[in-house]
C-alpha cells in the first residue's frame, strides 16, 4: 500500500517503481520482520513482484495519469 509520501513522489513509469520505490518497501518490511512483526507473507510477495517485475502489481496511483 502506497504511503502519502510515495504518492507525492510517484514514479515516472513502472521501471522507476521497481528501481526506486519497491526496494525501499521491501527494506522496510525486512526491518519490521527483524523487529518481530509478522510480515513474512507481504515480504515474500513484494520480493516476487520485484523478481518478476510484475507491472500489474505497480500501484496505479503512483504512476502519472495516462
* Residue 53 DSSP code: T
Distance in angstroms (rounded) separating the CA atoms of residues 20 and 13? 11
pLDDT tens-digit profile, the chain (66 residues)? 455 555 555 567 788 889 988 999 999 999 999 999 999 999 999 999 999 999 888 887 777 765
Give the other-Cβ count within 10 Å of 62's Cβ: 19
Distance in angstroms (rounded) separating the CA atoms of residues 43 and 35? 14
Distance in angstroms (rounded) separating the CA atoms of residues 63 and 22? 13
| Angle, alpha carbons 19-5-33 (nearest 5°) | 65
pTM value? 0.76
Amino acid at each position: 500500500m502506497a504511503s502519502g509520501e510515495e504518492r507525492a513522489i510517484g514514479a515516472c513509469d513502472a521501471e522507476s517503481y521497481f528501481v526506486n520505490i519497491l526496494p525501499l518497501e521491501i527494506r522496510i518490511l525486512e526491518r519490521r520482520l527483524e523487529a518481530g512483526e509478522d510480515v513474512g507473507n507481504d515480504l515474500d510477495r513484494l520480493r516476487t513482484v520485484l523478481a518478476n517485475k510484475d507491472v500489474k502489481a505497480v500501484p496505479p496511483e503512483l504512476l502519472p495519469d495516462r
